[in-house]
Amino acid sequence: MKLSFLLAGAVLAVAGAVSAAPVTKAVATLKSAPGGKVEGVVTFSPAAGGVRVNARVTGLTPGDHGFHIHEFGDCAATDFTSAGGHFNPGGDPHAGMDAAARHSGDMGNIVADKDGVAVLDVVDSKLSFDGANSVLGRGLIVHAAADDFKTQPTGNAGGRVACGVIGATKGE
């Protein structure tokens, strides 16, 4: 009786230690809005001065597409409005990625080539894997149109053509 109780406690302690390990890598797998054919994978990994964001998105119309982290990791609504507005824990205005004051989720535009393929490799200084700026559990949205970096609070980037939930993944 006493031994089994101790063993159960040890198992719980080990499970707790595992779940407390810091997350250092995350991924969002994008799904298309109904009728679209946008697909993609966005990965998040540690980098000096922030979080490295790598994306490869296909099935886009050629040109610029607003690319943001949104507040909620909820892609349930068919128009993806369930993901909420731009991820903005600092209460800043919407802007481009090089602006000093911007939403933490403002990553500018991805640019699709003539085949509809866009790739991105940036380090975002406003993102992290913990605390108020943690990407975990947030939403990743690709828009139909270009982000103009000015219009508040959306960048006037149009509808939402793809959505993904940013989840923890196994580190290296």
The one catalytic residue among 106, 124, 138, 147: 106
* Site membership for Cu ion, residue 141 (CB under 5 A): yes
Pick what 94 binds: Zn ion, Cu ion, none; C-beta below 5 to 8 Å, kind-dependent: Zn ion
Nearest to 154, CA basis, from 86, 80, 73: 86
Q: Which segments of the chain are extended strands (E)? A: 26-32, 39-47, 50-58, 63-70, 106-112, 118-124, 139-143, 160-165, 167-168
Nearest distance in Å: CB 119, Cu ion: 19
Give phi and psi for 57, each to the nearest 5.
Answer: -125, 135
Residue pair 106/90 in contact by the 8 Å Cβ criterion: no
Residue pair 30/40 in contact by the 8 Å Cβ criterion: yes
* Site membership for Zn ion, residue 126 (CB under 5 A): no
User: Which of 65, 70, 103, 143 is in the footprint of Zn ion by CB under 5 A?
Assistant: 103
- Catalytic annotation on 103? yes
* Site membership for Zn ion, residue 65 (CB under 5 A): no
* Site membership for Cu ion, residue 138 (CB under 5 A): no
Residues that bind Zn ion (CB under 5 A): 86, 94, 103, 106
Residues involved in catalysis: 68, 70, 86, 94, 103, 106, 143, 160
